[in-house]
Structure 1
Amino acid sequence: MTNVVFIHGLWVSHTAWQPWIDHFAEHGHHAIAPAWPGEHASVEETRRNAGDQAGVGIDDLTEHFAKVLERFDTPPVVIGHSFGGLIAQKLLGQNKAAAAVAVDPAPIKGVKPLPVAQLRSAFPVLGNPLNRGRAKGLTEAQWRYGFGNALTVEESDDLWRQWSIPSPGKPLFEAAVANFAPNSPAKVDVANATRGPLLITGGTADHTVPFVSAKATHGLYSKSTAITDFHEFDGRGHSLTVDHGWRDVADVTLSWLKDRGFTAQS
């Protein structure tokens, strides 16, 4: 079987991957979704102890998940959403993963487009410099703009109640200044020609990681001879891994893995 490690992004609990874990198991894959450093086992407990994630940055996340990958006999596939997609790319670039899928990934160093929607989505954190050292959640309205803009208000609010958690502000601040920091933790080895295959996706209605940002990330890999594919999810917002259409995203991922040789028998 193919081993898979899921990595969530900001403001979404690791437990939100459970439907994916079950779906991948039905297709013969073994998958896990570890919590971020300082994140607790349940949504409720994480909300009650938000400060436990304060100060966690991109390097901390990369190191944390690198240790998870080392538990396997052979490098697993890594699938990440949003900032999880950024971490997945870093791990793949370091040859610690066999392949990676970056679902609407947070921008890595070198991505230049900065749409207004992206700025507005990040403003609840970036608007206060003190949030760099804090963990902060989103209100229902903020979640609706950043995640649920392509959904009904009712579904967006339901997802907020079910999966939303506070998350550390540091990764957002690190990504925001990545193009001005030579040694930014958001830097990825996009020129690595020996890495495994990579799939990057973009949702055309995404506010948090606008489509132009996901396409720009894909473009940074143009000089590498390693496989780098792109898939467009038309009309999908940033909630695409947890909303009513999550299975479509999961099936595209499973199909891509199969096409790239990562079957249940691999």
Structure 2
Amino acid sequence: MELKRYALAVEYDGRAFNGWQIQPDVATVQGEMERAIGRMAGHALRVHAAGRTDAGVHATRQIVHFDTAVNRPITAWVRGVNSFLPSGIAVLWAQQVPDDFHSRFVATARHYRYLLLQHPVRPSLLAGQVGWIHNALDLEKISAASQFLLGEHDFSSFRAAECQALSPVKQMLKIDIGQQGDLIYFDFSATAFLHHMVRNIMGALLHIGKGNESPEWMQWLIAQQNRSVAPPTFMPDGLYLTGVSYPEKYGLATEPIQRFGLI
């Protein structure tokens, strides 16, 4: 029987999972996806994703793909698979794609949002869904500093030690920062991201926003290409993978998406 390739858009609450990548003896998003899709397909299979999110990181539109020779209506890969998934994961849509599609290797950009609560008291209802800082922040300084990140750079100063990327050179395409009440959002779009890159950038931006350094310090930090001189990695709680871009020929709805307002 001929193999067919399917792409799925998936959202998940990262709090219940030890990241995307499958690991023994712990719950992961990939592990749950392979179990649920495998039950629907009636055979074991491998699910590939556009990117590996860390433990505690969420997604509003992660793109994955898998291969199967089993014929099922497209609704089976949405509602059917969802019936086998835990409540923290849901398939949003499914679509058959050409054999040359690969959720990771043909992606042209990834999009992340970091949602930050600036408030004297830690969150309760939004615990785990937003980052939190009690300090007053200077958003003008943060926005000015963020401009130094645009374009192609060696992002080694924001790269985790365990990062497996072949090169630290990435292109930051867009950064947008805004505020609604006590919530501040940070939108990042890049060709690709290094391990912990967004959380490490957040640590540096907040360091500047608290008045510890000038916006120009970000330019110096990038030039150092040295993780040890940068501020600590910020918490994963408010980080969302919001979309993945692909060439138009695949016809996928993959623009960044925020669910339920800011999230």
TM bucket (normalised to shorter chain) is: under 0.3
**Larger C-alpha radius of gyration, 1 or 2?**
2
Normalization by structure 1: what TM-score?
A: 0.25
Structure holding more helix per residue? 1
Structure holding more strand per residue? 2
